[in-house]
Structure 1
Amino acid sequence: MSDVLDDAQTGALRDRVRDLMPQVRADLEALTRIPSVSLDAFDQAHVEASAEATAALLRAEGCEVEIVREGGRPAVIGHKPGPPGSRTVTLYAHHDVQPPGDDALWDSPPFEPTERGGRLYGRGAADDKAGVMAHVAALRAHGDDLPVGVTIFVEGEEEIGSDSLPTILEKHGEKLRADAIVLADSTNWAIGEPALTTTLRGMIRVVVTVTTLDHGVHSGMFGGAVPDALTTLVRVLASLHDDEGNVAVPGVLEGEAADLEFSEERLREESGLLDGVSTIGSGSLLSRIWTKPSATTIGIDAPSVATSSNTLVPSASAKVSIRLAPAEDDMHAFELVKAHLLEHAPWGAKVEVHLDDRGLGFAADAQGPVYDQARAAFADAWGVEPVDIGVGGSIPFVAAFAEQFPEAAILVTGVEDPDARAHGANESLHLGEFEKVCVAETLLLARLGALPR
């Protein structure tokens, strides 16, 4: 297929984005200063303020805007028409953020964006207010000459599970229907190497409760004959893995990841794995973190070391995050995990397993003209060809969009890189990469507008 944009058109749009970046960055910093944490324990007035600020940015670019609330946090929908008969594109991001955690772990205040070493530090600077601003930048770059119809959907509760998204899609789905849907909430392969995310793992989160006694008793008087719940819980949790560290639940699916070069040294550097601590599991490293299941104990309810007594603990609970192969059915996996945990309860202990959260994975058939133009836009912006990657994390809303709009090409893109530290202390955005993201999205809209129907 011949290229739909010539070098002069591409260069002009690239220059336009470059000229816009100072104001784009200023607007990003203003958004980042709003502590729009969507968890209930935080002041939701900030989430409202973030939605209003996002709406104002879209209105300034000529969009018709509404803020919708369907039982959850406010989402923003903006629309700007393209030429008659043109393609339509929906651009997704989210304006809510994770809690900052311990301020002492940050090298600068989490809600005061600060530049160091070419990176902009702040909670939400990468995840996902930069996604919001990439969409705004593309609108600004095209101005009144928008080559396609664009709808921008900025969600307000992605970080707490998108509970109201099904209702939003049910009631407002026709407003979001498009030929292509760009979901800007993922990552790139490396600094200087762009990527399309074509697979995401699904997930279930379960709470396992073990009870062995109806009350706590003296560990010296009864220990050795009576099992305590905490030791029993540890044995139940240990059954989730085999000796190599693979998930040992019979029947769960596994997948094979793309054949990209990914060394153990890179894994260690990006994860912070300590010297002397080995990796777990078998198969390629990328399969282990992208397409095979994993099981991680993320919390335990039990007496703390500081407050514990010499007592047999009668009951203890753990929360386990289980990531699933992209093609796995989440409820089927839950039943398999539940049956496995109940089967491995030692000493007749009472074990209960409750589903805390779930989400389907995603696997794209990333072929066709929209994907071709996306890859070309990435290559123009970065100067190198993009790669297709998987992501081990779960973004359940992607599956929701794919189910709601089966005819649309789903493009999962992102502003992050391996050192973005989204959700952690010192989250940051690589400013050079961010400009390339803005260029790529601007070029994608131009390419889709120039593509013959």
Structure 2
Amino acid sequence: MTLSTEDIKARVEDLFPGIRKDLEDLVRIESVSADPERLSEVEKSAEKTRDLFAAEGFEVEIVRAFDGAPPAIVGEKKGPEGAPTVLLYAHHDVQPENDHADWDTPPFEPTEVGDRLYGRGAADDKAGIAAHIGAVRALGDDLPVTVRLFIEGEEEVASATLPELLGKYQDKLKADVIVIADSGNWDIGVPALTTSLRGLIRVDVELRTLGHAVHSGMWGGLAPDAIMALVRLLNTLWDEDGAPAVEGLVSGPAADVDYPEERLRAESGAIAGLQWVGKGSAVERMWTQPAITITGLDAPKVDGASNTLSPSARAKVTIRIAPGDSGENAVAALTQHLEKHVPWGAELTTKVVDTGEPIALDATGPAYDAARAAFTEAWDGTAPIDMGVGGSIPFIAEFLEAFPQASVLVTGVEDPDTRAHGANEGLHLAEFKKVVVAEALLLQKLGA
């Protein structure tokens, strides 16, 4: 039976207290995959996720790439004979909560304040799991497609075993359409489909100028210290206006989307009077141009520092690479730039920490038509925009490689004030309800 939009909205409304309870139960599990002390919590969240889908009629199991690897959930609920197959993706692991003092509410006790539910993973990405559960629950016996599941347990630690999992369980994951619930919407009341994401490279850069530390009074002014040399080298990474100065990195145009100045400042937390860096429109600088950031420094601390010349210093250079570029090209371009600009004969050492490929999706075809119609109906006539994301979801490239014939839809529950990965992560409850409605409508339209 085909349900009307109003029927689906009514079902989600009735089911929403239970969907929210399932989400809150997941948030209470401290599934921080980066913390070895909480690996048992990651196992617990996998078991809870398995049980939630089993209760909806899925044949579901916990799987691993190999013994000791992080747990993922694979499952299936069959639809009518000959119906399309849709793979639903989310992840059950979460980022560390870091200093509890930075949180206004307990990070692992879901707490409603105003129109939001706060807690680590309340949005990223346990709400993605809950949205999948809610959509299937709303359709019930009227499920018009075969739904397959892949709920990952290591997304927040770079999905190291994902290629092995996709290869090992390819027959159980193969689908006509893949729905990845790990992104966000444009604004409260304005849905979006994510159609491009930047990639990422991280490189540790070390300079050495001396065999050992020496007295700054005796040798200062003659021998360059390593911090001095590293600062000089790092400064060459940007032009005067702050745009990347590394030759060979790819840039491209972005969608013509209005991003008001006041919203940019509010969402970024920019201090009063701060000037933006780079060239081009705001969305080009955030979505389709490279960005270079120093995300870590190893050097003596200010407190207790002695009057010596540091023999070595190290920085982590992170580059967000634009769609159309590749990790291999970006690493080569950065390495060549650093070697060319090493000052004063210092000794340079570089180490590639990791890379992730950028993505530009073909946002056309029947699956995208169905998604746009579903989103427009769920948001009461507001059509979704095609949105770029400046961050990276490297595993999407793995899905595209493993399932080249599938249409990949990147959706999500986040909004500009979600604060994923930071303190006070929160989920806008009214928007979350619309996400559940939209996914149920999408499954129904795909089945048609």
Q: Shorter-chain-normalised TM-score: which range?
A: over 0.9
- 1:295-444 superposed matches below 5 A: 295-383=292-380, 384-444=382-442
Distance in 1 separating the partners of 2:201 and 2:223 = 33
Shift of 1:331: 1.0
Distance in 1 separating the partners of 2:274 and 2:307 = 32
Q: TM-score, normalised by structure 2?
A: 0.98
Decide whether aligned partners of structure 1 residues 56 and 202 sit closer, same or farther in structure 2, where only a CA change above 3 A counts.
same
Partner of 1:449: 447
SS in structure 2 opposite 1:425? coil
Contact 2:86 2:177 in 1 (8 A): yes
Contact 2:35 2:96 in 1 (8 A): no
Distance in 2 separating the partners of 1:207 and 1:164 = 23
Distance in 2 separating the partners of 1:128 and 1:357 = 22
**Which amino acid is the alignment partner of residue 310 of structure 1?**
N
Residue 49 of structure 2 is aligned to residue 54 of structure 1: yes
Shift of 1:40: 4.1
Unaligned runs of 5+ in 1: none
Q: What is the CA deviation profile of residues 376-412 of structure 1, one whole-angstrom value per residue up to 9, with x for unaligned ones?
A: 0000001201100000000001111111111111000
Distance in 1 separating the partners of 2:341 and 2:122 = 44
Q: What is the CA deviation profile of residues 192-242 of structure 1, one whole-angstrom value per residue up to 9, with x for unaligned ones?
A: 000000000011001000100010011111111110111111111111110
- 1:54-453 superposed matches below 5 A: 54-71=49-66, 72-383=69-380, 384-450=382-448
Distance in 1 separating the partners of 2:108 and 2:419 = 15
Unaligned runs of 5+ in 2: none
Distance in 1 separating the partners of 2:114 and 2:252 = 38
Q: What is the CA deviation profile of residues 57-106 of structure 1, one whole-angstrom value per residue up to 9, with x for unaligned ones?
A: 01000000111111431000111011000001000000000000110000
Contact 1:232 1:349 in 2 (8 A): yes
Q: TM-score, normalised by structure 1?
A: 0.97
Shift of 1:263: 2.1
What RMSD in Å do the two structures reach over aligned CA positions?
1.1
| Runs of 4+ off more than 6 Å | none
Distance in 2 separating the partners of 1:155 and 1:319 = 27
SS in structure 2 opposite 1:144? helix
**Which amino acid is the alignment partner of residue 340 of structure 1?**
H
**Which amino acid is the alignment partner of residue 169 of structure 2?**
H
**Which amino acid is the alignment partner of residue 408 of structure 2?**
I
**Which amino acid is the alignment partner of residue 288 of structure 1?**
R
Distance in 2 separating the partners of 1:321 and 1:100 = 22
1:30 to 6, 17, 25: 25
Shift of 1:41: 3.9
**Which amino acid is the alignment partner of residue 225 of structure 1?**
L
SS in structure 1 opposite 2:207? strand
**Which amino acid is the alignment partner of residue 425 of structure 1?**
A
Identity of aligned residues (%): 58
Distance in 2 separating the partners of 1:197 and 1:373 = 15
Shift of 1:343: 1.1
Distance in 2 separating the partners of 1:115 and 1:397 = 32
Contact 1:82 1:148 in 2 (8 A): yes
Contact 1:264 1:285 in 2 (8 A): no
Distance in 2 separating the partners of 1:170 and 1:406 = 13
Partner of 1:45: 40
**Which amino acid is the alignment partner of residue 151 of structure 1?**
R
Distance in 2 separating the partners of 1:381 and 1:239 = 49
Contact 2:191 2:383 in 1 (8 A): yes
Distance in 1 separating the partners of 2:371 and 2:281 = 28
SS in structure 1 opposite 2:80? coil
Distance in 2 separating the partners of 1:427 and 1:21 = 21
Distance in 2 separating the partners of 1:145 and 1:98 = 36
Q: What is the CA deviation profile of residues 158-210 of structure 1, one whole-angstrom value per residue up to 9, with x for unaligned ones?
A: 00000000000111112111110000000100000000000000110010001
Contact 1:342 1:352 in 2 (8 A): no
Distance in 2 separating the partners of 1:263 and 1:248 = 27
Shift of 1:145: 2.3
| Greater displacement, 400-409 / 385-394 | 400-409
Distance in 2 separating the partners of 1:162 and 1:375 = 29
Residue 4 of structure 2 is aligned to residue 9 of structure 1: yes
Distance in 2 separating the partners of 1:12 and 1:77 = 30
